[in-house]
Amino acid sequence: MNNLLEAHSVSKKFGEFTALNNVSISVPKGSIFGLLGPNGAGKTTLIRIINQITMPDTGHVTLDGKSLQPEHIKDIGYLPEERGLYKSMKVGEQALYLARLKGLSKQEAKERLQYWFDRLEIGDWWHKKIQELSKGMAQKVQFIVTVLHNPKLLIFDEPFSGFDPINANLIKDEILRLRDQGATVIFSTHRMESVEELCDHIALINKSNKILDGKLTDIKRQYRTQTYEVGLRTEHKEQLQKELSTKFEIAPTNFKTLEDDLMLNIKLSEHDTSNDLLGYLSSKGEVSHFVELIPSANDIFIQAVKNNN
């Protein structure tokens, strides 16, 4: 079994409103799977179904090939979107309490918590009250409690919201490290910056429907436009640009250069290869820059959602 988790044709209505319509996903073992989509798409609903908080109307979910059952809860570490800690409790006391709920012995919980508190640089906060913590610090505590019992599946619902860029980066690195140690990770986000660095696989949900899924590199290949960002050193910029525009689809662009280069995005025509373009350009001047424009997760997200709407 290569997939740790599979959701098969999951649908969920709240009254007349369809929150999920026939959504299937396959999450390969050891991967980081990004559940993407605009606000209100249905991401949290699917995550709550996987965590057995909400029941689907139709469809089913399997973990390691077995239909979801109550015993599976201990195999999953879940960081919910709405985060809450008891404000008046002390930080360490609260973390210990939550760790014990995950089935760790007191000693084990203490040791692991100490390790993680030092690791995420909140060790000094052990004896302070939760209400004294900033939002970001409280989120670190919740992140720790989510991963503490080394579950095989980690699910983070919007893990980066509320973090400043430095802490978001710290959490991102921890997620990568947990994956490298063997965990499988599902995380949801409506912001694309984190996707490029983290996701092996993605599923894009829009208005309760899955509109795109697969390996991120395969999806990028599918969305590539055969466009190259080109820099050319020549005495005759204007003339050359005119000439190029008769042969190719061109658009102005901008990148760092130390010379007064002609900078263009050039789209290959159907029968041309990148080498044809490169050969042509080098016969016209000195090629100083030649890079394929790879669509970003953000470009793909925007285009796929626009096409779907």
Phi, psi angles (nearest 5°) of residue 134: -70, 165
Q: Where are the alpha helices (DSSP H) in 181-271?
A: 193-198, 216-223, 237-247
Binding mask 12-31 for ligand ADP (x = CB under 6 A): --x--x-x------------
Q: Which is nearer to ligand ADP, 213 or 261 (CB)?
A: 213
d(CA 47, CA 301): 20
Of residues 45 and 94, the one with the C-beta less far from ligand ADP:
45
| Binder of residue 259, out of ligand ADP, Mg ion, none (CB less than 5 to 8 A by kind) | none
Count interface residues toward ligand ADP (CB under 6 A): 11
* Helices within 41-134 (DSSP H only): 43-50, 91-101, 106-119
Distance, in Å, from the CA atom of 306 to the CA atom of 309, rounded to the nearest integer, reads: 5
C-beta of residue 67 within 8 angstroms of C-beta of residue 136 = no
41 binding ligand ADP? (CB under 6 A): yes
Q: Quick one: 41 or 153, whose CB is closer to ligand ADP?
A: 41
Q: Shortest gap between Cβ of 39 and Mg ion (angstroms)?
A: 7
Spatial contact of 200 and 215, defined as CB atoms under 8 Å apart: yes
- Residue 206 interacting with Mg ion (CB under 5 A): no
Query: Considering beta carbons, is residue 42 or 56 the nearer one to ligand ADP?
Result: 42
Q: Are strands 201-206 and 209-215 parallel, antiparallel or unpaired?
A: antiparallel
Indicate the residue among 25 and 122 with the shorter CB distance to ligand ADP.
25
Cβ 44 to Mg ion, closest distance in Å? 3
* Of the candidate residues 26, 31, 44, 206, the single one contacting Mg ion (CB under 5 A): 44
210 within 8 A of 25, measured Cβ to Cβ? yes
Alpha-helical segments (H) within 227-283: 237-247, 274-282
Stretch that binds Mg ion, among 59-67, 75-83, 89-97, 247-255 (CB under 5 A): 75-83
Give me the residues that bind ligand ADP (CB under 6 A), please: 14, 17, 19, 37, 39-45
Give me the residues that bind Mg ion (CB under 5 A), please: 43-44, 81
